[in-house]
Amino acid sequence: MKIGVAGKGGVGKTTLVALLCWALKDLGLRVLAVDADPDTNLASVLGFPDAEKIIPIIQMKELIEERMEKKGGFFKMNPYISDIPNRFMEEYDGIKLIVMGTVKQGDSGCVCPENTFLKRLLHQIILRKDEYIVVDFEAGVEHLGRGTAEKFDHLLIVIEPTRLSLESFKRIYPLAKDIGIKKISTVANRIKDKEDLDFILSELGKDKLLGFLSYSQVCEKANQKGDFKILKKDIIYKEAKEIVKSLLRGG
């Protein structure tokens, strides 16, 4: 199963990815986490030792230039990348991880070669068999491309009980539909009470909500201490397990 996780910045997307990975692993399944977010914090949340020393593949300029055969204004559209996932894969506590990163816009000039490289790499990764792959995306999903998007079984859009978060969802959802992702659901995060949940349901309806994570002070402490494994003893881990069960049932 290939699961993508997207959402507005700061809604708890990376934390959800970690919870899903742990829950899948605890079910005895093989898990591959992919960090395709610009901030590349997933290794830290998963507890990988020396996470800050892991270099995102997007920062490996020489590798990208070599594979893209970039010369002047021309570059290869179909680079050889099938060896890269295994070469740059990390593993800790039963979970495999690839830190891709993504292109940060700014004064970097044309980013076409880098974007092409990342799309090809992601496509190669999600073709892997016998693994449950969970991808931590940046806020939008339009960078995926149709050929890659079609390989995903489910896209989860993380939302909060706020108007801005719901506005972000309403932008991401049609984009995901347009590029061919067939199954799209939401996971509500930081739910304090029934009023929060009712607000989301009134805006989206029950059919789009796969599950929710409660507001958690333990999660705040985890962020402060940098020790996210304590979340496995919190109620939100039980809630994450229910989300995983729904995904495995076809959600």
Q: Copy the structure tokens of residue 216.
A: 């958690």
What is the CATH number for 153? Answer: 3.40.50.300
CA distance 174 to 179: 9
Q: Across-strand partners of 35?
A: 99, 136
- Checking if the pLDDT of 65 tops 90, the result is no
Q: Model pTM?
A: 0.91
Using one digit for the tens of pLDDT, what is the confidence trace for 96-148? 999 998 876 544 444 577 888 888 899 899 988 889 999 999 877 766 776 67
Question: Per the structure, how many domains does the chain have?
Answer: 1
CA distance 24 to 141: 24
Q: What pLDDT is attached to residue 212?
A: 96
In whole angstroms, how far apart are CA 159 and each of 7, 143, 176, 191? 7, 20, 15, 10
Using one digit for the tens of pLDDT, what is the confidence trace for 18-43? 999 999 999 999 999 999 998 899 99
CA distance 148 to 123: 5
Q: Give the structural domain span for 211.
A: 2-248
